[in-house]
Amino acid sequence: MKFVLFNGSPRNQKSNTKILLEHFLRGYNRVNPESVPVSYLANRKLKDDHLTAFRDSNIVIVAFPLYTDSMPGIVKEFFEDIARSGISGSKKMGFIVQSGFPEAIHSIYIERYLEKFTARMKCEYLGTIIKGGVEGIQMMPPFMTRKLFGRFEALGVNFATNFGFSKAIGAKLRRPYKMTAMGRFIFSIVSRTGLTNYYWNSNLKKNNAYDKRFDQPFSRKADS
C-alpha cells in the first residue's frame, strides 16, 4: 500500500498544517517506520508531480486550512486537476481541515463537499478530521499545545494500525463544535481588552496595513 500526504496550505513550509502533519507522522512512524512523502500544493511548478503522486498512491490524505469557510485555491485547483485527469477509483481518501476559528461548525460544510468529491472520484472516503483554534500555535508555549500535538500523534498511531481515522480521537479534536453561552460571554469580556485582536493587529502592522484596517474600498460611500 502506497501512502501519500498532500499539504494544501498556501504558507507551504511555514504552515500550521505542516506542524500538525509532522505530529501525525511522528505517531504513524512509531508503528510503521516507512517514509511517507508529503507533497506541498503551494509548489505549483510541481503540479504534474502532485498528480503523479496521487495516481501512484493507494491511500491519500489531503490536509489544508479553512479559507473563508472553504478551501484554498490551490486545493480546489488540485481537485479539478484530479477530475480532469480521469484518475479515479481503487483509492482511499481522507482529509484534515484546520482553522483559526475555535468552533468546528465552521468546517462542516467543506466536510460535506469532501465526502461528495471522494464519491464522485469513486474512491473510499476515510473521513475528515476537523480541528479549530489552530492559528497561533507557532507562538504558543509547549504546555498550550501538548494536548493538541499528542492527539495528532495518537491519530497517526491509529492510522498506521488501521489505515483509517479514529472516530474517538476525531470527536475530541472537533470540540468545541459550537461556543457555549459562557464561552461567548468570556470572549466578549476578553475582546474588550484587545487581546483577541493582538495576533491579527501584529500582522497588520508588520505589513503596514494597520491604519487601513477599517477601510471599505467597495462601499457606496467610498465610491461617492
Question: Considering the domain 3-178 in this protein, what is its CATH number?
Answer: 3.40.50.360
Q: What's the pTM?
A: 0.89
CATH 3.40.50.360 domain range(s) in the chain: 3-178
pLDDT tens series, the chain, 224 aa: 799 999 999 999 999 999 999 999 999 999 999 999 999 999 999 999 999 999 999 999 999 999 988 999 999 999 999 999 988 888 999 999 999 999 999 999 999 999 999 999 999 999 999 999 998 899 899 999 999 999 999 999 999 999 999 999 999 999 999 988 888 888 788 888 888 788 788 889 999 999 999 998 888 765 55
What is the model's pLDDT at position 198? 82
**Using CA atoms, how far apart are residues 45 and 117, in angstroms rounded to an integer?**
24
What is the model's pLDDT at position 222? 54
What is the model's pLDDT at position 29? 97
| Closest CA relative to residue 153, chosen from 23, 56, 39, 44 | 23
What is the model's pLDDT at position 188? 85
CA dihedral 107, 108, 114, 116 (to 10 degrees): -160
What is the model's pLDDT at position 113? 97
Grid coordinates of 62: 489531503
| Closest CA relative to residue 152, chosen from 92, 69, 75, 96 | 96
Beta strand ranges found along 71-180 (DSSP E): 92-98, 124-131
- Estimate the crossing angle of helix 16-31 against helix 142-162, to 10 degrees: 50
What is the model's pLDDT at position 203? 86
